[in-house]
Every structure is written in C-alpha cells, then in structure tokens.
Structure 1
Amino acid sequence: MQFFSDQELWNRVTNNDSAAFAILFGQYWEEMFSLAWRRTGDEDHAKDIVQNIFIRCWEYRQEITVTDSLAPYLMTALKYSVIRHIYQSAKKGLAPLPLSVYDIPEEEKSFLQDWEEFQHVQQLIQQEVLNMPNRMQEVFRLHREQQLPVKAIALRLSISEQTVKNTLHNAITRLRTRLKSVDATWVLFI
C-alpha cells in the first residue's frame, strides 16, 4: 500500500480526485466523530457535524491550500462546529449551555475565515521556528515536518532519545509562550 502525505492527497483533491478525498475522509472520520460524539452526547448530531465539515472541505477544495497536515484545520473546524451546535441547541432550549461556551463570540466564523486564521498562525509558527537555535530548529522540523519518531531523530543526529524529547519539549514550550497572543485554539495544535 502506498502512503501519501496530506499535502499530496490534497493536491489530488484540488484536481477533483474523489478517491484521494475518500482516503483523507477515512483517515480523519473516526477520530473526529469520536470527539464530536463525546462533546455533543448525540451520535446523530456528531455524524452530521463531521459530515458537514467534509462537505465544506470538498466544496472549498480549490480555495484551501494544505502545506503540511490537514489535521489541525479539521480539528479546529470540528471545535467551532461543536460549539455552534451546543450554542444553537441551548438557544432552542434543547440543552443547557456549558459555561465555557459563554466566552465564545456569537458570530459564526466561516469556513474560509477559519482557514485564513490557521494559515496566519502557521506563518507565525514558521517565523518563530526560524528564530530557534539551529539544533532545536532541526529537531523540531524532523519531528513535525518529516514526522520522524524520536528514535529516528536521535539516530540521525547522533544524540540521545532523551535529548530529542527535551529539545522537542523546549521547542513546543517556546512556541506556545511566543504565540500566547494568538487565539489559544490554534496554539493547542502545536
């Protein structure tokens, strides 16, 4: 079985390749559904929420650019969709509104606005990665961009696995600290 990155699959999706879209759907459906079901407590609504996210992905496939992974964007779209569902259910009197939702702005964020925010945060992350010390930058890129496991990074760089773990922890802490002013939702995906 051949492995394709999200970026490769998305490039095929933008060329109307429904088979590539089906692969992405298969990769992310279960996790997204599980999260939505846990948050909504309703299996049918959870399925609808996830299905609608994928429908919007297909509809806007020409406007969306995937440079690495689709996962952070899908999970953020899921979060906003679940929040909208909970908020709308509470407005209709179908369910109580959790306290955490009171802090969410009422206006709905559109699909493309979410994507633009995500792209902006990705640019900020890339800028901050460039400001990291060389070794930290190298370890971070090998892990996040090339998706190498800790053991492979340690072997490649001739350093201990613990050094790789410490460096990754420091890099992620640094990014989160430097990006505190950015919407916290996005920073969770670092």
Structure 2
Amino acid sequence: MPIDLLSDEELLSQLQQGKRDAFNQIYERYYSLLYAHAYRKLQSKEEVRDILQNLFIHIWNNRENIIIHSSLSSYLYTSVRNRILNFIRDTKVREQYMASIQEFSEKGENLIESQLQEKELIRIVEQEVALLPPQMRLIFEMSRNLEMSHQEIADELNISPLTVRTQVRNALRILRVKLGTHIFTIFF
C-alpha cells in the first residue's frame, strides 16, 4: 500500500520502527496544518518554524518511545500548543528579566552617582566645618552632631546659652556663605 494512503496509526507504527518514509508522510500530512494553527497564536513565521522544527526533531529522535493515547493529530496539536505556551512563558520571563536589568542599570547608575555626590558633599561640609574657629566648631558640632540643646551646651562648657546661640548662628552664616544656599539647605 502506498505510504500516503496509510492511516495515522499505521504511520505511527512504521515511525516507531524507524521508517523514514512514515516520518516524512507525517510531516507532509501535518506540517501546513500545524503551521497555520501556530501562526494564529504567535504571528511570527520564524518562531513558528522553530517550534515545528523542534517538534519534528523531537518526534524523530524519540520515535521508539512515543506513546500516543489519542490520535496522532491530537498529539501533534497538543504538542504544538504546549510549545507555544512554553515559548510565550519564556519570552515573558526573558522580557521581564531584560526590563529588570535595564531598570537596575538605570537606577544603579543613578544610585551610585547619587551616593558619590552625597559623599562628596558631606566631605565638603565637614571640611568647611573643620575650618570654623575652634570654640565655634565645638559648639556647632555639639548642637548638630550630638543634638544637644543650647542650654545643655552652655552647661557643659560653662558659658551662657546666649553665647551658644550666637556661636551657632554665626557658624550657620559662615557655612551658608562658603557652601552656597543650595548645599546649605540640604544639610542644615
């Protein structure tokens, strides 16, 4: 009997015996139908070709172990559907991964740049604070770094709270001039 007249079951049986003609007939019988089915889902000729090529390679490589509980056509359509779903899932995962890398890259660069700028600004502020007169610097650092009140600083240093307030105000005025208003408002 000519190979093109064999039923799917007979073709499958011959395929399992390693007969290439049976494989070729299955390919010819179903390729265009499977292609149309897959193309409706993916709308990408290259991806559909890849999926079908991988399916038929899988069928040939596993021909001896293929067990089909339904019809050959059902098996092929289900296989194509599953491969399409896997492709879509993998594509979404890949796209999400690429988007997250892009986002991390953009935010990471900005974050690193911001951290470097912040460190540089802190260094500049600390440098300017260090240039204040010693008593003024001590009072200013107690006020800002130790968060002591004017009264606590006055008690600690045995000076009047008014002197503490004047020294802090003078330190802020000097820093505002040296650092500029923008940097000054960020830190104080």
Category of TM-score, reference length = shorter chain: 0.3 to 0.5
Normalising by structure 2, report the TM-score. Answer: 0.47
Normalising by structure 1, report the TM-score. Answer: 0.46
Larger gyration radius, structure 1 or structure 2 = 2
Greater helix percent: which structure? Answer: 2
Q: Which structure has the higher relative contact order (CA within 8 Å, separation 6+)?
A: 1
